[in-house]
Amino acid sequence: MSQILRPDQVRQRYGEMFCQGFFTMVDEKAGRARIVEVCQAKGPKEWDIVNRRRTGGIISGIREEGSMLIMDTVIGDADLRFGAASSELGAQGVYSLKVEGDRVRTKWRGMAGASVGVGACIPQCPDVIETVYDDDVRIGGGNTVDVEIVSPKLIRAVIGIDDTDTCEKGATWVTGLKMAQSCPYGRFLEHKIIQLNPKAPNKTTNCCSTSVSFAVSEEDLPKLVDYAVDYVRKATVAHDTVVTVFTGLEIPEPLREWSWSAKSVLYTVDDARRVAEENGVRIIEVTGPKGSVGAVAAIGCTDMGLRAAGVPEDFE
């Protein structure tokens, strides 16, 4: 037998905990998923990263970014590797992720203090739909718990923006960040400033584009895109503003390579249109076409970490 509890019921049973966000993004074509937790404190994040990396399961990569703990996973099942150390250290891991319609079901195991994280902390986050427990579940102390956490199925949407400013007024990175913070659709994940070719003839001083990413339902994706385009159209002071859109967890390698080279090569609008079409990027001309190069490159550089903000000679 099992019992199913909503987040408010978990909170009532175990008291107020610390998880401030929990969303699961899937890329079914790639067989991949990404689980994001927003944590209230650094200590639990660090402990969870070390222990989940140790136990493996479906996790292919795990990292900390600001207040977020980010796990890249496969879609499917994989055994946990607790090992002999678990009897002394405790352990925690996720061993299954399945997509069912508009829901994602993840299965977790936690031992000792780690049982509180997966048994009481994540399940009471408002982003969770419900959690499935065994009838005789006990958390904390020396107990081990297995739970199934059900959350909405989301996808990652990346919005690229370029050419919204002039030498006299505006800043594209500001427009992008304000848009993302005010957007009522999806969950704002990340804002990136993309340094482009400083020798571009039609640049403002810094020659930067920007990208923002969201976790959003497939149903709300068109609303998110419409909001972003409308916001940029109202905010821009330039005549060649472009918005680009990409959905998925994995930026195609040809797009990454082209976008990196855009920091040193002077590409044309036709070049940007070609690479966008070949790699699943939608180009939306808001006030004109010339921002296409920077807006496409913004998508391709999104997952490059610090390299997105620099030029090749910064990393030689």
List pLDDT tens digits, range 118-157.
Answer: 999 999 999 999 999 987 888 877 788 899 999 999 999 9
Q: Within this chain, do residues 177 and 133 fall inside the same structural domain, yes or no?
A: no
Specify whether 207 is located in the same domain as 290: yes
Note the pLDDT of residue 2.
86
pLDDT tens for residues 2-21? 899 999 999 999 999 999 99
Same domain, yes or no, for 58 and 91? yes
Where does the pLDDT of residue 275 fall: very low under 50, low under 70, confident under 90, or very high at 90 and above?
very high
The answer to whether the CB of 247 falls within 8 A of the CB of 213 is no
Q: What is the pLDDT of residue 186?
A: 97
304 plus 167 within the same structural domain: yes
Average pLDDT of the chain is 92
Hey, which bits of 112-241 come out as E strands? 130-134, 144-162, 187-195, 208-216
Count of domains observed in the chain: 2
At residue 103 the predicted structure's pLDDT band, cuts being 50, 70 and 90, is very high
Which band of pLDDT confidence, cut at 50, 70 and 90, is reported for residue 27?
very high
Range of the domain at 242: 163-315
138 and 181 together in one domain: no
Q: Is the pLDDT of residue 160 over 90?
A: yes
Q: What is the pLDDT of residues 285-306, one digit of tens each?
A: 999 999 999 999 999 999 999 9
> Average pLDDT, stretch 216-241?
96
The answer to whether residues 107 and 186 belong to one domain is no
The residue-averaged pLDDT of 267-276 equals 97
* Same domain as 265, residue 187: yes
- 225: pLDDT confidence band, cut at 50, 70 and 90? very high
Q: Do 14 and 129 belong together in one domain?
A: yes
Same domain, residue pair 137 and 214: no
Same domain, 150 and 192: no
- Which of the listed residues 154, 183, 204 is the one where a domain comes to its end? 154
Cα 127 to Cα 21, 85, 96, 167, 215: the distances in Å are: 6, 33, 19, 42, 12
pLDDT given for residue 203 in this prediction: 54
Of the residues 92, 123, 154, the one at which a domain ends? 154
Of 154, 180, 195, the position where a domain reaches its end is 154
Residues 93 and 172 in one domain: no
Q: Clarify whether residues 69 and 35 are in a common domain.
A: yes
d(CA 204, CA 8): 50
Q: What is the pLDDT of residue 187?
A: 95
Cβ 191 vs Cβ 156: under 8 Å: no
Look up the CATH number of the domain holding residue 202.
3.30.70.2200
Separation CA 111–CA 121 (nearest Å)? 14
pLDDT at residue 144, as a whole number? 85
